Amino acid sequence: MSTLRSAAGTERWLMPAGRAAIDAGVVFVAFALAYWLRYTLELGGEVLPGFSQPFSFFFDSVIIQLMIVTVVVFQLRGIYRLPRWTSFLDEALIIASSATTAMAIIILYSYLQRFFPSRLIFIYAWVLMIALLLGKRLIVRMIRQGFWSRGIGVDRVLIVGVGRAGQRIMQHIYGNPQLGYRVVGFLGDPPDDANWGIATERRVERPPYLGDPGAIEEAIRQHQISEVIIALPPAEHRNIFRMIQQCRQMDVSFTFLPDLFEMALNRVTIHEVAGLPLIELRESRIRGWNYVVKRAMDILVAIGVIVLMSPILLLIGLAIKLDSRGPVFIRQVRVGRDGNQFICFKFRSMVENAEQLKEELMKQAGNNGPLFKMKDDPRITRVGRILRKTSLDEMPQFINVVLGEMSVVGPRPQIPAEVELYDDWHHRRLEVTPGLTGLWQVSGRSDLSFDEMVKLDLYYAENWSPWLDIKLMLRTIPAVMFGRGAY
């Protein structure tokens, strides 16, 4: 154990030292380029005779000091201790401000030493420092994230506690493999729900159960844990203190994640009044201006698809009419946002008396929860089977999108009879406008259980962004082309 502790301590010291040495080298290159631009290329104006200085003169007077000061400022600003989940934008702002501080110190030092070279060389060096330091970090970040995405060099993480806070951190780690973490498992009381899992953009993950919180030492040794994330409620403060002590004794990194009333912290706003914290819960992200942006995207996409696909839609209508008796379109009552009902349009893919045959088929298929899906459904026509496999039967729903009853991306709308069978927590999916495609459609589609679908829908509502909608639209294309899970 002492050997491992010594090796871990040496590694934690060597890594920042190596980064600092590389940063010092980058600063040297930046100043050398600045000298070349100003005194060799004479960028910014001709250098008058007698005012040119050899590079060695700058090396002795400025460059060494600039390298040392930059590394010291970076160390003081904590650049070498930034957590992995720090965004590149946040890191770039710290680097830019730190490099500016370091250059300001050197300019002041040069003035006090009565050293007055061309002022442009300091400006060039400052700009190049920031550009090269950011470029170096961006390249390192891309290479590192590429390795982490493939499971190379990742840190093995143990989660203690499986409440809302613990589930949220697991959701973040599973959804962002480029962070370099791998959830080995969790300690705590496993949920009673047999379909329990962690919803991400791509699938529902089921982290392994490794025992109760008292087994933390055994879990760390047996599974070679690199970091422990403690997400227990405040009532477990005695156990939390004991676990922290155990992590310190085993020289394992740990993070304490407070479970504030089991609320997701990214949905909480904290205000202060008279020195007292006031906690406000945020609603679904698809509200206010976010809703306006999403609605504008929906209208543009829906009108574009209807116009471009109109010849194909006419051919589909003709094929349906020639294949079987009945109308081209069917009108179904569906439940939309906030429980409001609307008429959903689809191309007919079943025989004319499909609804009358449904009750008997449900008995044959067995209980599948509120969602009725059946492979090899005998009610489906020949053309309908092709339409369902390619999801072309849902193309008329772009009309519902234009009318504002549906969105391009969102939870699938269900019929009132299915909604009546919802558990209480299932109703949260009705807070979002239903859509043609969504997370579960590109994560397995009909192969998922209903509870898994709802979890993916809730993840979408709480993590919505325009970029997420664009990604899901793009991922829908191969899901439709290969007919994954569609029937």
Contact indicator for 79, 95 with CB cutoff of 8 Å = yes
- Burial annotation 233-263 (CB, 10 A radius, 16+ → b, else e): beebeebbeebeeebeebebebeebebbeee
Tell me, yes or no, whether 304 and 262 share the same domain: no
Tell me, yes or no, whether 458 and 319 share the same domain: yes
Beta-bridged to residue 279, according to DSSP, are 270
Contact indicator for 244, 175 with CB cutoff of 8 Å = no
Tell me, yes or no, whether 144 and 160 share the same domain: no
pLDDT band with cut points at 50, 70 and 90 for residue 262: very low
Tell me, yes or no, whether 103 and 190 share the same domain: no
Tell me, yes or no, whether 127 and 162 share the same domain: no
Tell me, yes or no, whether 141 and 49 share the same domain: yes
Q: Is residue 32 part of a domain?
A: yes
Query: For 66-70, 166-170, 264-268, 463-467, which range has the lowest pLDDT when averaged over its residues?
Result: 264-268
CA distance 318 to 315: 5
pLDDT band with cut points at 50, 70 and 90 for residue 144: confident
pLDDT at residue 268 in the model: 53
Tell me, yes or no, whether 100 and 210 share the same domain: no
Q: Which amino acid is at 95?
A: I
Tell me, yes or no, whether 300 and 316 share the same domain: yes
Domain-ending residue, one of 149, 171, 196: 149
Query: For 272-276, 307-311, 317-321, 322-326, which range has the lowest pLDDT when averaged over its residues?
Result: 272-276
Contact indicator for 221, 210 with CB cutoff of 8 Å = no
Cα 435 to Cα 38, 122, 455: the distances in Å are 59, 56, 16
pLDDT at residue 481 in the model: 65
Indicate the number of domains in the chain: 3
Residue 100 φ then ψ, to 5°: -65, -40
Contact indicator for 147, 121 with CB cutoff of 8 Å = no
Contact indicator for 349, 387 with CB cutoff of 8 Å = yes
Tell me, yes or no, whether 112 and 196 share the same domain: no
pLDDT band with cut points at 50, 70 and 90 for residue 86: confident
Tell me, yes or no, whether 138 and 164 share the same domain: no
CA distance 230 to 257: 6
Q: Is residue 316 part of a domain?
A: yes
pLDDT at residue 154 in the model: 86
170: domain CATH number is 3.40.50.720
Over residues 73-95, mean pLDDT: 84
Give the range with max mean pLDDT: 108-117, 236-245, 278-287, 290-299: 290-299
CA distance 28 to 87: 26
Q: Is residue 487 part of a domain?
A: no
Q: Is residue 299 part of a domain?
A: yes
pLDDT at residue 261 in the model: 40
Over residues 434-453, mean pLDDT: 72
pLDDT band with cut points at 50, 70 and 90 for residue 22: very high
Domain that holds residue 319: 289-481
Contact indicator for 181, 213 with CB cutoff of 8 Å = no
Angle CA(77)–CA(79)–CA(82) in degrees, nearest 5? 115
Q: Is residue 486 part of a domain?
A: no
Q: Is residue 34 part of a domain?
A: yes
Over residues 316-345, mean pLDDT: 89
Domain-ending residue, one of 107, 130, 149: 149
* Packing angle of the helix pair 289-323, 466-481 (nearest 10 deg): 20
Residue 415's nearest CA partner among 360, 472, 354, 484 is 354
**CA 122 distance to own-chain centroid:** 40
Residue 75's nearest CA partner among 89, 59, 95 is 95
Q: Give the CA dihedral 440, 445, 449, 455, nearest 10 degrees.
A: 0
Contact indicator for 50, 78 with CB cutoff of 8 Å = no
Domain-ending residue, one of 149, 170, 191: 149
Tokens of 129: 């420092």
Per DSSP, the three-state class of 284 is coil
pLDDT at residue 30 in the model: 93
More confident residue, 152 or 235: 152
Tokens of 276: 């007292």
pLDDT per residue as tens digits for the range 163-216: 877 888 888 888 877 788 889 999 987 777 666 778 777 778 888 888 888 888
Which residues contact residue 236 at a Cβ distance below 8 angstroms, ignoring those fewer than 6 apart? Answer: 161, 213
Tokens of 211: 């025992």
CB atoms within 10 A of CB 398: 22
Tell me, yes or no, whether 58 and 169 share the same domain: no
Tell me, yes or no, whether 371 and 299 share the same domain: yes
pTM of the model: 0.50
Which residues contact residue 186 at a Cβ distance below 8 angstroms, ignoring those fewer than 6 apart? Answer: 158, 159, 160, 161, 162, 166, 170, 207, 208, 209, 210
Q: Is residue 296 part of a domain?
A: yes
Q: Is residue 419 part of a domain?
A: yes
Task: Say whether pLDDT at 458 is over 70.
Answer: yes
pLDDT at residue 443 in the model: 64
CA distance 387 to 369: 25
